[in-house]
Structure 1
Amino acid sequence: MLGVFDSGFGGLTILRPIHARLPSLSTIYLGDNARAPYGTRTHEEIFAFAFEGVQELFRRGCPLVIFACNTASAQALRQIQQTELPHEFPDRRVLGVIRPTAEEIVSLSRTGHVGVMATPATVGSNAYLHELNHIRPNLVVTQVACLGLVELIEAGRERSEEADRLVATYCLQLIEREPLVDTVLLGCTHYPLVEPLFRKHLPTAISLVTQGTIVTDKLAEYLVRHPELASRLDQTGTRTYLTTKNNEPLSMRASRFFGSAVTVGHVVIS
């Protein structure tokens, strides 16, 4: 099975295109809703929580886990890949969403100015800044930390006036800081759940980029390059959903998001 880990609901925006592109691939989704949001946590907390999630998915038979969470990808992925996996799980792999996203968006900007809307922890890590400038050194990257937005989405208030005001404020910050931006990345997998608000408050000439299709395409390419790992992934199309919090909110959200009833199990990870 493929494991998909997120701090909460946001990873569903990665999981849906995976199901569409690779329908026979069995998946386990684990949302750490009990400890969401990760975006205001310390590096130590994010690493600990993310690695606990990885280990839970490994225990459930996943040889490959995707961090469908930019904050975990920014704050924990490299340490897990370089320090933990070689010693404890040498035959398992963990992939993130930042590098594959950066590889795609560097060529999208005509002006050479890109905006990144993300959590405080992702912005603070400068992971996107480093990845984008490594690929395209002259690219101007303007990052905006969208404090409080994930909390509203996790609370089911993405259509509230408060969410609208927050998105309006952060979009204005971006444009005031860098008027030449022509491409904006929603650098948190929760943010596509409020994509209409970003489209409402950003100039229509700006291209808005989300990660679901990008990450899915890169995953498909990765599996072609690594047939030895792909052969270990179950291809019976089973879907398992887990949460560390009350399972009803994730069940309702996932059912609405996928358009069919989704049963969610509860799990304690530590």
Structure 2
Amino acid sequence: MIGVFDSGFGGLTILSALLRELPEYDYIYLGDSARAPYGGHSKEMVLQYTREGVQNLFKRGAKIVILACNTASALALKELQKEFNSKDRNILGVVAPIAESVAAGGHERVAIIGTKGTTSSGAYDLEIKKNTEGCLIKNKACPLLVPLIEEGWSHKMETRRVLKSYLREIKNWHPDVLVPACTHYPILQKEMQRIMGRKVEVLDTGTIVAKSLKDYLARHDEYELTRGGKREFLCTDCPEHFKKWGSKFLEEKIDAVEQLI
């Protein structure tokens, strides 16, 4: 079984991409909806919350856990890999595969938008510079986007205005690629592309992560991953709300959500 952990609904965009690339596997998803978003929390709190989520997913039978949340990947991944990784289980993040894709694209001016936790961590800068030299990187925190999206306001004019305001500075910097470094942001992908224009590539981060995992599994057969196409959904608060809005992120109906106590 493959586990996917996120601070809320956003990681369902990653799960949606995984289901397209690797539909045969069993998946268990945990959204920490009671404590979302993670972007404004300290590194210590993000580490604690993510540790609890990973523990729950391993207890439920996951052999690989994907930290879909960019903030968790940036702030907690390396520490938790030291704590949990063994020969038959592993924790993977989203920062490295996305950064590798940026480097492979030969981009010269890279703009990154995300939560305060992600953009201030420097995690993307570090990973991108591991794989390429000479590119310029600009980070922009967009703290209002996740709360607006979680409230179901992704299609409201107010959200579009906030997004346009955030991207104005980025657009004036003239990047050739925009990295939406938050799992919630694919909901606004088309609007981002419209604002940035055709000359700027807005990365499809979910597909990048899914293809990276597919490649990883092809090279690692030591994990006993069940293949029955089953899906299980867990959250830490308001399961009915999670079911309603989570279905929009997943782009298919979620029939049942279990609340963890």
Q: TM class by shorter-chain length?
A: over 0.9
Provide the residue aligned with 1:106 in structure 2.
103
Provide the residue aligned with 1:127 in structure 2.
123
CA shift, 1:175, in A, is 2.3
CA distance in 1 between counterparts of 2:104 and 2:90 reads 28
Provide the residue aligned with 2:243 in structure 1.
251
Identity of aligned residues (%): 38
Counterpart amino acid of residue 247 in structure 2: S
- Structure 1 position 240 matched with structure 2 position 236: no
CA shift, 1:155, in A, is 1.2
CA shift, 1:35, in A, is 0.2
CA shift, 1:74, in A, is 0.1
Q: Deviations over 1:84-124 (max 9, x none)?
A: 125xx6642100000011111113255x1111111110011
- Structure 1 position 55 matched with structure 2 position 48: no
Counterpart amino acid of residue 108 in structure 1: G
CA distance in 2 between counterparts of 1:259 and 1:139 reads 38
Pairs aligned (count): 260
- Structure 1 position 164 matched with structure 2 position 160: yes
CA shift, 1:263, in A, is 1.4
CA distance in 1 between counterparts of 2:155 and 2:254 reads 22
Provide the residue aligned with 1:200 in structure 2.
194
- Structure 1 position 226 matched with structure 2 position 226: no
CA distance in 1 between counterparts of 2:253 and 2:70 reads 27
Given that 2:88 and 2:222 are in contact with CA atoms closer than 8 Å, whether structure 1 keeps it comes out as no
Provide the residue aligned with 1:85 in structure 2.
84
CA RMSD of aligned residues (A): 1.4
SS in 2 for 1:165: helix
CA distance in 2 between counterparts of 1:36 and 1:261 reads 20
Pairing 1:68-83 to 2, within 5 Å after superposition: 68-82=68-82
Q: Which range is displaced more, 12-21 or 93-102?
A: 12-21
CA shift, 1:241, in A, is 0.6
CA shift, 1:261, in A, is 4.3
Q: From the superposition, tell whether residues 262 and 246 of structure 1 become closer, same or farther in structure 2 (CA, over 3 Å).
A: same
Given that 1:243 and 1:264 are in contact with CA atoms closer than 8 Å, whether structure 2 keeps it comes out as yes
CA shift, 1:160, in A, is 2.0
SS in 2 for 1:143: strand
Provide the residue aligned with 1:115 in structure 2.
111
TM-score by length of 1: 0.92
Given that 1:252 and 1:262 are in contact with CA atoms closer than 8 Å, whether structure 2 keeps it comes out as no
Q: Deviations over 1:44-88 (max 9, x none)?
A: 010000010000001101111000111000000011112x125xx
Counterpart amino acid of residue 130 in structure 2: H
Given that 1:8 and 1:32 are in contact with CA atoms closer than 8 Å, whether structure 2 keeps it comes out as yes
CA distance in 2 between counterparts of 1:72 and 1:184 reads 20
Provide the residue aligned with 2:23 in structure 1.
23
Q: Which range is displaced more, 251-260 or 126-135?
A: 251-260
CA distance in 2 between counterparts of 1:109 and 1:118 reads 22
- Structure 1 position 263 matched with structure 2 position 256: yes
Given that 2:87 and 2:222 are in contact with CA atoms closer than 8 Å, whether structure 1 keeps it comes out as no
Q: Deviations over 1:12-52 (max 9, x none)?
A: 11101111111110000100011000001100010000010
Q: Which range is displaced more, 259-268 or 218-227?
A: 259-268
SS in 2 for 1:184: strand
**Which of the residues 92, 108, 116 maps onto 1:95?**
92
Given that 1:41 and 1:121 are in contact with CA atoms closer than 8 Å, whether structure 2 keeps it comes out as yes
SS in 1 for 2:152: coil
SS in 2 for 1:38: coil
Mark the runs of 5 or more structure 2 residues left unpaired by the alignment: none
SS in 2 for 1:35: coil
Counterpart amino acid of residue 183 in structure 1: V
Q: Which range is displaced more, 205-214 or 257-266?
A: 257-266
Provide the residue aligned with 2:36 in structure 1.
36
